[in-house]
Amino acid sequence: MLDKLLSESIYNAVFALAGEDEISELRLRAGKPLCYAKNGRYFIIEDCIVTAEDIERAVAVASGHSVYAANDSIARGYLVCGKGYRLGICGEGVLKDGKLFTLKNITSLCIRVPHEVKGCCDKLRDILKNAANTLIISPPGLGKTTMLRECARILSRDKNVLVLDERGELIPVEDGQVTVETGDMCDVACNIPKITAYETLVRTMRPDIIITDEVFGEREVQAICDISRCGVTVFASLHAGGIGEVYSAAIYRPLLNVMRYFVVLEDIGRVAAVYDGRENNA
């Protein structure tokens, strides 16, 4: 996919220095040097300057050469294409009736490169065996989505797993086909607002386990609490520096009452700690 998103000069510059399996993120800023993330560190290629045309190309490819059709997603600040490649978009907002309608004059892109890493959940074997409510915690970019993707693959071997993938990057679907490996009992709700999916699909799909990424805001927290009370297990992730930040944030504190396990990442894919709420260690 990157060979389509990136111009030849940018593609050759970055992959002369690293393989796609090593890169987690590319940063394109008009008039600035190309920046990429490898093994948790950012590197700048000083002699590779990103142009406005480079950014226009990536947006055109990611939108299927129909920016108008992709406007709703662009207005929310991102595009998803291929097997879960997500482009964060930064530019000039255009308002309509006082609400953000779209973005124009796009100046920056953050391209997140998806990975399947089998074995990244080896330290979660007991958690996966028990299949109890689990929250994966870390700052952005440390592998929460990758870990949840692997949880979905393992858990859906023998349990009905419903993946709520609002942004199309957790379990990517392209042309009606799931593009990453899952078990035989996995259902994917892609590009549906999570609150809507919570309210409808829990009843209609009758999952044993729901897996969702990036819990955000009071409504999502309340929905997870309600689902848990219905007897459905939830695996989710949360942007935070550690479990202490969950305690200190009133919006997210209710999760401490419904989640059994708390997995804290300290580096890309590296588990710093696992807390069992039943043992009162959290």
DSSP collapsed to 3 states, the chain: CHHHHCCHHHHHHHHCCCCCCCEEEEEEECCCEEEEEECCEEEEEEEEECCHHHHHHHHHHHCCCCCCCCHHHHHCCEEEECCCEEEEEEEEEEEECCEEEEEEEEEEEEEECCCCCCCCCHHHHHHHHHCCCEEEEECCCCCHHHHHHHHHHHHCCCCCEEEEECCCCCCCEECCEECCCCCCCEEEEECCCHHHHHHHHHHHHCCCEEEECCCCCHHHHHHHHHHHHCCCEEEEEEECCCHHHHHHCCCCCCHHHHCCEEEEEEECCEEEEEEEHHHCCC
Class of domain 122-279 (CATH, top level): alpha beta
CATH of 2-112, one of 3.40.50.460, 3.30.450.90, 3.30.420.40, 3.40.50.300: 3.30.450.90
Whether the CA torsion 91, 139, 237, 22 is positive or negative: it is positive
pLDDT digits (tens, 9 = 90+) for 24-46: 999 999 999 999 998 778 999 99
Percent of the chain at pLDDT exceeding 90: 67
Position 67 confidence tier, pLDDT thresholds 50, 70, 90: confident
Position 280 confidence tier, pLDDT thresholds 50, 70, 90: low
pLDDT at position 112 is 93
Q: Nearest to residue 143, comparing CAs of 44, 58, 40, 49?
A: 40
Compute the distance between CA of residue 234 and CA of residue 231 in angstroms, rounded to an integer: 9
Compute the distance between CA of residue 104 and CA of residue 126 in angstroms, rounded to an integer: 48
Terminal Cα distance for the chain, rounded: 41
| Mean pLDDT calculated for residue range 68-91 | 90
272, 147 Cβ separation under 8 angstroms: no
User: Poorest-confidence range of 3-7, 118-122, 162-166, 205-209?
Assistant: 118-122
* Cα separation values, 73 from 80, 141, 166, 265, Å: 9, 21, 11, 29
Listed by start position, the domains of the chain span 2-112, 122-279
pLDDT at position 98 is 84
* Cα separation values, 180 from 52, 118, 160, Å: 32, 11, 17
What's this model's pTM, rounded to 2 decimal places?
A: 0.84
| Mean pLDDT calculated for residue range 120-143 | 92
Residue 127 has pLDDT above 70, yes or no: yes
What does R_g of the chain's alpha carbons equal in angstroms?
A: 19
pLDDT at position 239 is 93
Position 101 confidence tier, pLDDT thresholds 50, 70, 90: confident
136, 148 Cβ separation under 8 angstroms: yes
| 242, two tokens | 């550690």
Compute the distance between CA of residue 156 and CA of residue 34 in angstroms, rounded to an integer: 39
pLDDT digits (tens, 9 = 90+) for 199-248: 899 889 999 999 999 999 999 999 999 999 889 999 999 999 899 999 99
Compute the distance between CA of residue 35 and CA of residue 53 in angstroms, rounded to an integer: 17
Residue 282 has pLDDT above 50, yes or no: no
Average pLDDT for the chain: 91
